[in-house]
Every structure is written in C-alpha cells, then in structure tokens.
C-alpha cells in the first residue's frame, strides 16, 4: 500500500510502499482501539466490540496481485450506504494510522488517548479537542496522531485542512511531541487501491492540552486488552506465547508469556512501578524470537482468511533466512524456554500450567494438521 508523508522531519520516508497483511490490520484494530479496558464495566462486551471491528476486514477488503499487489474493496463494500461507508472509512483510518506510526515513525506502545484517559481518570475541559492516538518513538520522544478516512479520493479541501490544522496536544509528560500528524486513508477510485496520506503540522493550537502520561501506566494500558481477551477465551501455550484463537473469525492473538506474566502482576497486584523498563528488558531478551514472529512488542496476530493468501512477511521479502509464514516460524522455533526460569510470585497466574495448543490455530497451523507434543 502506498503512503505519502508531507511536512515531516528529515528522515521520515516521503513515499513508501508498505506490505500490509490481514493480521497487521487485525492487530492494529486490537491494540489501538478506542474502547477502554474496563472488565467490571463492559465485561465480555469489549471482546465482542473487537470482533465486530475485525469482521469488517474480510467482509470489505480484498488482497490482490492482479495486475499489481494492492488492497481494494470488495463488491459488498460498494453496496454499503453512505453511513456504513463512513464507518468502514473510520475503521480503516484508525488501523492504518497505527501501522504508519509503527512502520515509518518507529513508534511503540501506540494507543488511543481516550482508552488511556478513561482508564486513569484523565479529563479534558469542555470543548477541548485532542488527537486520537499517542505513543513513544524507540529512540525517544512522543508522537501524537489523528486518524481520518474517506471512501473516495483525498480532496484538495481535506489536504489543505490537514496542512493547516494545529497540534491539539501541547505536551506529553511535560515534553512537546516530536511529531504530531494527521493521516487519512482514501481510495483513488471506486475500484482503486487503498492509500494513506500523512501530514505533520508544526504549530500548536491556542487551546492545546497537556497529557500527563505515566510511562508504566501507559504500558499497562497498552497490554491490558489481552487480559480481557484471555478472560473470555481459553488461553493456551504455543511455544513462548500465550495465545487465544477466535475460530469463528479465523483469527489468533497472543503475547509473549514473560511479558504477559509481568503485566498480569501489575494489573492484579498493582505492581506497576518499573513496568515499562521490565517489559523492554524482556523484549530485548527475546528479540531473536520476536524477529521470527513479526511484532517487536511481543504480540502475535495471525489470520486465516480464504482468498487472502499473500503470506510474504512485511519488510522481510529479501531475507533468505527467516521463514515465510508463522506456521514455519513456530515449526522451527528453538525449544529452549528460558522464560520459564522467571520467578513466579505468590498470587501470580502460573502460565507454566496452561495446556499446550492442539489442532487448528488460525493463521498458524492448518485445519488439517495437528501440533504434536
């Protein structure tokens, strides 16, 4: 998918072709979703809400290599009424905003401002607008973003509005965001490919807000939706990952077991101090395995949607070493399980006792094949 970036700092690719797989969009909608994690308030509804958003993807998007590799809308998408098209555009705009941030701006722990704010009781003055998302760059500094979507081409008026808009978040944790951009997903024609345009305005609005972010609570809020998913879908062990398969959607999600263990401790026992540093340490320790399974935040997502078989790994087409699919990655994964040496404290959920995956795992192990051992 083609992306165009305007007014960004030097070093950000102006034009880029991103390989976007179904599971990339599934993950983006899961981790960046607006719905707050609040088990007591929403319970299973939050899981259904995620399923609702994910079901949009195979219904209305098509991955095609004819005549060139691209993502287009299905025939069903063209039959939607204007309100339904607006909801599809909104969903795609949010997903691609996350992918742009992670792939082209090196942003980690990218999430919706509303989910963080509602979880930790942050409020904004009446009439104050603020960006949709925020996250931190791996080399330091924060990024804020606003997502837009259009069911047709990007109009001149919208581009000018994006170029002229002011930053709505003045500071994060007392620091001015390094980048504050707006991105818009759009389609050049009815049957044209999906594209994204991103613009980074420079000036802050007069009523721009300050966002008091605690780095440890930020990380907890980022991983918390996994706790909700595992509470409503039986978790299993797959290598070093705790996974849950939503077979009705043919989607699997997971998180690296030691990371999940530490996040659970923070959530259940309020041991949040040092969480961010602990998670980064665990991710660094397991980096060779993370490189095999795609996502550097220790999460795992896979989709098994018939007709969407472009299984090339994003950014890895030229590598002759890494496997071409999650199936092969887990078949070849080292059986060393050094995470099991991590200390289990009283009151922790003991992930070592979870049953191992058997049988079909959407996007990883085919329906016809059983995982041995």
From residue 247, alpha-carbon distances to 33, 55, 145, 201 in Å are 21, 12, 33, 43
Helix or strand holding residue 70 (H, E): strand 70-73
The pLDDT of residue 333: 58
The pLDDT of residue 160: 83
In terms of pLDDT, which residue wins out, 123 or 267? 267
Burial 22-58 (b: 16+ CB within 10 A, else e): bbbbbbbbbbbbbbbbeeeeeeeebbeebeebbebbb
What digits encode the pLDDT tens for the residues 79-100? Answer: 999 999 999 999 999 999 999 9
Whole-number percent of the chain with pLDDT over 90: 35
208 token code pair: 């721009």
Helix or strand holding residue 180 (H, E): strand 179-187
Please enumerate in sequence order all residues whose Cβ is within 8 A of that of 78, keeping only pairs 6 or more positions apart, or say none: 190
Residue range 149-168: average pLDDT? Answer: 84
Residue of 203, 199, 141 lying closest to 172 (CA atoms): 141
Calculate the CA dihedral of residues 320, 325, 327, 329 and round it to 10 degrees: 40
Query: Any idea which residue has 């070592």 for tokens?
Result: 352
Q: What is the pTM of this model?
A: 0.85
């Amino acid at each position: 998918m083609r992306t165009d970036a305007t007014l960004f700092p030097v070093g950000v690719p102006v034009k880029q072709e991103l390989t976007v797989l179904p599971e990339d969009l599934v993950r983006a909608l899961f981790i960046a979703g607006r719905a707050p994690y609040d088990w007591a308030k929403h319970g299973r509804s939050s899981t259904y809400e995620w399923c609702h958003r994910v079901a949009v993807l195979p219904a209305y998007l098509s991955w095609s290599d004819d005549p060139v590799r691209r993502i287009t809308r299905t025939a069903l998408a063209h039959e939607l009424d204007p309100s339904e098209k607006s909801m599809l555009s909104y969903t795609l705009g949010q997903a691609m905003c996350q992918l742009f941030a992670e792939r082209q701006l090196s942003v980690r722990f990218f999430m919706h401002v509303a989910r963080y704010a509602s979880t930790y009781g942050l409020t904004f003055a009446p009439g104050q607008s603020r960006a949709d998302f925020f996250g931190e760059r791996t080399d330091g500094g924060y990024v804020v973003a606003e997502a837009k979507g259009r069911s047709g081409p990007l109009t001149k008026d919208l581009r000018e509005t994006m170029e002229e808009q002011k930053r709505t978040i003045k500071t994060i944790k007392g620091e001015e965001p390094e980048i504050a951009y707006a991105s818009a997903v759009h389609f050049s024609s009815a049957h044209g490919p999906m594209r994204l345009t991103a613009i980074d305005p420079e000036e802050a609005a007069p009523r721009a807000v300050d966002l008091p972010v605690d780095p440890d609570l930020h990380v907890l809020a980022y991983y918390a939706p996994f706790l909700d998913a595992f509470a409503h879908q039986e978790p299993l062990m797959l290598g070093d990952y705790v996974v849950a398969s939503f077979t009705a959607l043919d989607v699997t999600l997971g998180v690296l077991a030691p990371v999940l263990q530490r996040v659970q401790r923070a959530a259940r026992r309020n041991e949040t101090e040092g969480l961010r540093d602990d998670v980064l340490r665990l991710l660094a320790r397991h980096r060779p395995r993370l490189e095999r399974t795609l996502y550097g935040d220790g999460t795992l997502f896979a989709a098994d949607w018939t007709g969407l078989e472009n299984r090339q790994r994003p950014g890895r087409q030229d590598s002759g070493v890494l496997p071409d699919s999650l199936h092969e990655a887990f078949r070849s994964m080292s059986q060393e399980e050094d995470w099991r040496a991590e200390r289990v404290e009283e009151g922790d959920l003991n992930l070592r006792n979870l049953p191992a995956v058997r049988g079909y795992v959407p996007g990883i192990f085919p329906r016809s094949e059983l995982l041995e051992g």
